[in-house]
Chain A
Amino acid sequence: DTGVSQNPRHKITKRGQNVTFRCDPISEHNRLYWYRQTLGQGPEFLTYFQNEAQLEKSRLLSDRFSAERPKGSFSTLEIQRTEQGDSAMYLCASSPRVSSYNEQFFGPGTRLTVL
């Protein structure tokens, strides 16, 4: 257990529905990352926050995806009008970003299945 928690752990939804995931980072970690991982692949970067500011977005993050980190604590990732191709494990990671190091510690993930 790295101390990063994600909820829910599993989500099954029908195509076209909206879903929202939550990530609670390790306390006092100022950086928070979202990744997506499909079977047999490594995690793919989606976006990241430093405190409450969203500083980087991948082109994988279509306009159906939105992420927030109000008050620089927990973060939410929302997917609107879900598609079957959105089925994946959504991973959150946090980092203290001390000096030049950017160790990222992953949470257990939310597995999304879109029917």
Chain B
Amino acid sequence: QQPVQSPQAVILREGEDAVINCSSSKALYSVHWYRQKHGEAPVFLMILLKGGEQKGHDKISASFNEKKQQSSLYLTASQLSYSGTYFCGTELAGADGLTFGKGTHLIIQP
């Protein structure tokens, strides 16, 4: 079953923060986050395994709440280059293909 992402779209000014959420009704093995710009392939951002870990690089981080089967992506001090569509992809135990949400459109304005 497809994970649910929220919000569907966000418009920010450069330097503002954003949070994108991803929730699933199934027990997840891992959550993957990707960013896709128009006409390009999805770009891998990070992967979180069950266990409630939080990961991050630069000003992008994410968390995974195993009890709630929810993951959140945090973008701090957003830059123009952060614009794009963010997808979460969920992985179930024993199944290696990812199931992606419908995406969150992020627009960063100067």
Q: By CB atoms of chain A within 10 A, which of B42, B91, B102 has the most?
A: B42
Q: Contact check, A33 vs B97: say whether CB atoms are below 8 A apart.
A: yes
Q: Contact check, B97 vs A45: say whether CB atoms are below 8 A apart.
A: yes
Q: Which of B43-51, B63-71, B75-83 contacts A (4 or more CB under 8 A)?
A: B43-51
Report Cα–Cα, A47/B96, bound state, in Å. 9
**Which residue in chain A gives the minimum CB-CB distance to B46?**
A103
Q: Contact check, A106 vs B101: say whether CB atoms are below 8 A apart.
A: no
Measured between beta carbons, the chain A residues less than 8 angstroms from B43 are 2, 106
Q: Mark B11-40, 1 if CB is under 8 A from A, else 0.
A: 000000000000000000010101000001
Report Cα–Cα, A91/B41, bound state, in Å. 8
**Which residue in chain A gives the minimum CB-CB distance to B94?**
A56
Contact of B103 among A42, A44, A46 (CB under 8 A): A42
Interface size on B, residues (CB 8 A): 23
Report Cα–Cα, A44/B89, bound state, in Å. 10
A106 in contact with B97 given A42-B89, A100-B49, A101-B49 (CB within 8 Å): no
Q: Give chain B interface residues in 89-110, CB to chain A under 8 Å.
A: 89, 91, 95-103
A binding-site residues for B, Cβ under 8 Å: 2, 31, 33, 35, 40-48, 55-56, 58, 91, 97, 100-109
> What are 30 of the A-B contact pairs (CB < 8 Å)?
A2-B41, A2-B43, A2-B44, A40-B102, A41-B102, A42-B2, A42-B87, A42-B101, A42-B103, A43-B89, A43-B100, A44-B100, A45-B98, A46-B97, A48-B96, A55-B96, A56-B95, A56-B96, A91-B41, A97-B96, A101-B30, A103-B32, A103-B44, A103-B47, A104-B32, A105-B44, A106-B42, A106-B43, A107-B41, A108-B40
